[in-house]
A = this chain, B = another copy of it.
Amino acid sequence: MAADNRQAAQQALAPLRQQIDSLDSQLVALLAERAKVTAQVGQIKQQFALPVYVPEREQALLSARREQAAALGVSADLTEDVLRRIMRESYATQESHFVCCREGGGKVVVVGGAGALGSRFVSLFQRSGYQVQILEQTDWPEAAQLCAEAVLVLLAVPITQTAELIAKLPRLADDCVLADITSIKAQPLAAMLQQHAGPVVGLHPMFGPDISNLVKQVVVVCHGRSQQQYDWLLQQLTVWGAELAVKQAAEHDSAMQLIQAMRHFSSLVYGVHLADEQADLQQLLQLSSPIYRLELAMVGRLFAQNAELYADIMLSSSDVSSLLQRYQQRFSELLQLLQQQDKAGLMAQFAKGQQFFGELAGQFLQESKQLLQKAADGRS
């Protein structure tokens, strides 16, 4: 393009870009004002013990704005995406303190409270007005004293140590709640019921220590004994924003093998395979469209996390290896189809998966597309 031509283009664009900058500046000012108001909302919610996240209010707010957007010829989806991102921020800023769901608070002991996930719960209990004590390896000589008059003893320790440490616990007050957040539930729950005659509940927070808040995160609840005596704890989780899912321990554990152990193991093998193939990561990235970059990220992210934790989850039950045995069997069957160039056979297997996922496949495709659009926003 000729120089004078380029200059003409810049002259035509300059005033429009100034308009955009001024509109964006007004936008940022709006965000600032809104943050002030939502901070006040947060204070009132604390004062009246209301949850930070109120689905009905969120829905009403969004649909009103979608209508307005449509009326003004703006994309309703754009409007909703922008508002959801803004609301996420306000949830985060609203949770500096939480209402305490137990009359008078009380002492909470977090075994393993110095760990990554344990410390998240320590902070949450502290910000909710409880007196929190941490019980780490070196503190066991004082365990009896630490746990005296505790209203809750929460185990946040590696799977491999859970049973042993439950057995090491001192005698707890009859009304003290004993709970754990181990990612398997049957064994720890049985161990807690044996150790303590009072209220017992098994919890599995379905998230890692890396989340910014508990809003919309799932916590599985496996009832143990005397539920009415730990209702305050479940209510507290809800106030933090969590969604509770009540399950039988055994039911939970077998589902977890499919959800977690399978996933971790296949990602582990996938990463090791890339390493052994001496793949050129930079080239893979350069050649990866957003979807493949995300696929690779879902594998690679595993290796930024706690190897021992994942090994423990995989080793936690012999069912896992028999499950993986069957996976390997299916892998080799499909590989044979491939080696025999059996296209029809491969497509029949594909059809099986299509039938299994049903409408959800299309829904997942939609979800991942929307995510990729957002991932694309972030690239530059």
Instruction: Kindly report which residue of chain B lies nearest to residue A374, judged by CB atoms.
Output: B374
Contact check, A288 vs B31: say whether CB atoms are below 8 A apart.
Answer: no
| Chain B residue contacts of A29, Cβ below 8 A | 72
Q: Known A48-B8, A321-B339, A365-B304; judge A360-B281 contact (CB<8 A).
A: yes
Contact check, A330 vs B276: say whether CB atoms are below 8 A apart.
Answer: yes
A345 CB → nearest B CB, Å: 9
| Chain B residue contacts of A297, Cβ below 8 A | 364, 367-368
Complex interface: stretch among A107-115, A116-124, A126-134, A213-221:
A213-221
Contact check, A284 vs B258: say whether CB atoms are below 8 A apart.
Answer: yes
Interface string of A301-317 (1 = CB under 8 A from B): 11111011011101100
The total of chain A residues at the interface (CB under 8 A) is 170
Q: A88-B376, A272-B330 are in contact. List 16 more A-B contacts (CB 8 A).
A: A25-B65, A31-B69, A31-B82, A59-B380, A81-B85, A87-B377, A217-B289, A218-B288, A262-B273, A294-B298, A297-B364, A311-B343, A312-B343, A315-B338, A315-B346, A371-B371
Complex interface: stretch among A148-156, A167-175, A224-232, A351-359:
A351-359
15 contacts between A and B (CB under 8 A): A9-B45, A13-B45, A16-B37, A21-B64, A23-B37, A210-B365, A258-B277, A260-B292, A265-B334, A268-B353, A269-B334, A271-B353, A275-B352, A304-B362, A328-B328
Copies in the complex: 2
